[in-house]
Amino acid sequence: MVTSRIEQLVGDIEEFIDGCKFSLLDKSKILVNKEELEELLVELRMRIPDEIKKYQQIISNQEAIINDAQNKAENMLEQAETQTNVLVNEHTITQQAQETSRRIIEAAHDEGRQIKDAAAGDANLILEDAYRQARDLRQGAIAYADGLLKNIETMLYQNLEDTNAKLGGYLTATQNIYETVVANRTELSKNMGDMGAGQEG
């Protein structure tokens, strides 16, 4: 992790305090050069807003990245919905084909009944052929519809996987930045507390 100017100033203050001489009357107290300490504290106060702005910029950029990822995810879902609608329309065509096959079967039944009166043997052959053709049409329509639904399932699953992976990466990056900021603030608070205790002593 790159050391910030605030951390450097806190280190300078610690070194300054360590370099101060102890009081002759009380070894728990030290003699401090007021001007040097005030200079360090003034710079520390001036640097804090800059550090805050830097972290705010990092957070702002991270939010922009997350928003961009969300927009891309929404676009992907819209595209998936459009493709799904297209496939559903194709499925409608399949249903129409099934309906046509049903009508063929009914027409074959009617034709068979008419021919049966004249020639029962020929009618049976025609009915069997009609049943076979209708069965083949139905099986083909079912296989086509199943293929369409499989394509929809695969496409939606891949879109969900891609969206989860991207958002997961951005959330991890945001969490790392957040933990860095919290750690820096904790260290800063600790050092400020130690410095205050030294002055009171």
pLDDT in tens, 63-105: 777 777 778 878 888 887 888 888 877 778 778 878 887 888 8
User: How confident is the model at residue 43, as a pLDDT?
Assistant: 84
Q: Which of 19-33, 115-129, 153-167, 173-187 has the lowest mean pLDDT?
A: 115-129
- The amino acid sitting at 92 is T
| pLDDT computed for residue 201 by the predictor | 54
Q: Span 108-120, mean pLDDT? A: 68
State the Cα torsion 48-49-52-56 to the nearest 10°.
Answer: -170
21-22 and 30-31 strand pairing: antiparallel
What is the spatial distance between Cα 85 and Cα 159, in angstroms, rounded to a whole number? 16
pTM for this prediction: 0.33
Confidence band for 110, pLDDT divided at 50, 70 and 90: confident
Q: What percent of the chain has pLDDT over 90?
A: 0
pLDDT at 51 over 80: no
Q: Report the chain's C-alpha Rg in angstroms.
A: 40
- Helix (H) / strand (E) containing 71: helix 34-118
Cβ partners under 8 Å of residue 149, min gap 6: 87, 91
* Residue that wins the pLDDT comparison between 95 and 201: 95
Which pLDDT belongs to residue 195? 59
pLDDT, position 175: 87
Banded model confidence at residue 123, pLDDT cuts 50, 70, 90: low
Tens of pLDDT, residue by residue over 133-155, are 878 878 887 888 788 888 888 98
The boundaries of the domain holding residue 109 are 5-200
Domain count, the chain: 1
Q: Residue 9: exposed, middle, or buried by beta-carbon count in 10 A (0-12, 13-18, 19+)?
A: buried
Helices and strands per DSSP (H, E), number in the chain: 3, 2
What is the pLDDT averaged over residues 24-35?
81
